[in-house]
Amino acid sequence: MTDYDVLRVFCGADGRHGNELAVVRDGSAMTDPRERQLLAGKLGFSETVFVDDPERGGIDIYTPTLRLPFAGHPCVGTGWLLDLPELITPAGVVGVRLDGEFSWIEAMAAWAPPRTLRQYASADEVDALPVPAPGEWIYAWAWQDKAAGRIRARAFPGRDDGVEEDEATGAAALLLTQQLGRALNIAQGLGSQIMTAPYPGDFIEVGGRVRLDGQESV
């Protein structure tokens, strides 16, 4: 039996939506990467995190079909859950801070997996997009209010693993913030909110609201 927490990361101001995340706090209960991959596929969340070192923040991240060296919403959610100053990922050390209703991470865009950032002329065009065929990870976005840094976005992983659209995607937000070179307020999916800010030294902060939906076992 494996216990795990279910979080929603990057919730809207009303506490709804956000991208679901499974966190196995006792990573020592399942150390074989093959078993972890099987569990991530069985749970079917866009990402599942295994906490290997709860004191230092060592974590291991999986999608339903592959292992990731870094991912945004898993780090934001796990940082909030463990309440540690940093997380250790294969990509690098991720800074964490909690600020009122927001949980923030500090990471480099170079750690994010490749995504195709595709700009559209309006938020309505983004809203009208059908789910594309698998094969390319697409982050579709448009300005809602350029002066205010407000963006409308949708994310299509294209992995053919049952996750057709990501409700909220921190890694893609990192890449878009690096490309645009400014702080962003991103409305993604059905009602999620992602906040970002560029920092010196190629680091970017990504933050949002996190909610705990409960603990489950499998």
> What number does CATH give the domain 116-203?
3.10.310.10
- Containing H/E element for 176? helix 170-180
DSSP class of residue 107 equals E
The distance of Cα 115 from the centroid of its chain, to the nearest Å, equals 13
Q: Where are the domains of the chain?
A: 3-106+206-217, 116-203
H or E element that contains 39: helix 33-43
22-56 pLDDT, tens digit per residue, is: 999 999 999 999 999 999 999 999 999 999 999 99
Q: List C-alpha distances in Å: 70 to 48, 84, 93, 113, 217.
A: 12, 17, 10, 8, 25
How high is the pLDDT of residue 201? Answer: 85
* Cβ atoms of residues 217 and 3 within 8 Å: yes
- Residue 177's pLDDT is what? 98
Confidence (pLDDT) at 102: 97
Kind and range of the H or E element at 8? strand 3-11
Distance between CA atoms of 32 and 44, rounded to whole angstroms? 19
| Cβ-contact 194, 17 below 8 angstroms | no
Query: Where residue 200 falls among pLDDT bands split at 50, 70, 90?
Result: confident
Q: With bands split at pLDDT 50, 70 and 90, how would you rate the model's confidence at 70?
A: very high
| Tens digit of each residue's pLDDT (9 = 90 or more) over 115-174 | 999 999 999 999 999 999 999 999 999 999 999 999 999 999 999 899 999 999 999 999
Report whether 44 contacts 162 (CB < 8 A): yes
Q: Which residues of 171-180 are buried (b: 16+ CB within 10 A; e: fewer)?
A: bbbbbbbbeb
Pick the CATH number of 3-106+206-217 from 1.10.10.10, 3.40.50.300, 2.30.42.10, 3.10.310.10: 3.10.310.10
Residues 209, 100: Cα–Cα separation, whole Å:
9
Would the CATH topology of 3-106+206-217 be identical to that of 116-203?
Answer: yes
pLDDT digits (tens, 9 = 90+) for 88-103: 999 999 999 999 999 9
Res. 8 pLDDT band, cuts 50 70 90:
very high
Average pLDDT over residues 111-118: 95
